[in-house]
Structure 1
Amino acid sequence: MAMKVISFCLLIAIGFLSYDIWAGRNGLKQYEEISANLLKAQQQSAKLQDRNQAVIDELNDLKQGNTAIEELARTELGLIREDETFFRILGDK
């Protein structure tokens, strides 16, 4: 009889501990959620680092001289020099 009680208590303890490992605080479920959040944060961080590097590169170009300023004026503002001729090519329509 005593052996059955001890076995039952051990079974209950094993059940409680396994539940705590799988679904309890700091369990597998929480680990998977934190891992997913970490992956999202790392991806967002990589995007922000790329954007920061692009801004740093553009600042360095602007500090180097007029070539970068001229390139920005041509691409973003559509400016041309006085001695240049502007050609606009239309599609088939």
Structure 2
Amino acid sequence: MTYSKKRPLPPAVKYASRHFQNIWIADGSTLEALFHKLESLQDVPIGALAGKICTVVDLLTRLPMQVWTNWLFYAILIDLADAVAEELALPFERIYLEMV
């Protein structure tokens, strides 16, 4: 895909880009799902690749900003959820990790 032919930004992203210097998104997955998507390590039995991966990507440039794997994933997710709760002035218990 060339940049001249990429899909137009959704209205919400256009709006946010006018108000924020950076727009980052986080994507979490298991390492098994990642390797399956990449069609790598097909001969490894299911369940043999323990671990998690989290990638933070700049939404506008689609460039990765940071990648974490394994046990750090959960710790960083908790820290991020805490920052979201603080920014929204909500108790941490009101933040669902699946939504961060």
Question: TM-score, normalization: structure 1?
Answer: 0.24
Larger-gyration structure (1/2): 1
Name whichever structure is richer in helix by fraction: 1
* Larger fraction in strand: 2
Q: Which has the higher contact order (CA 8 A, sep 6+)?
A: 2
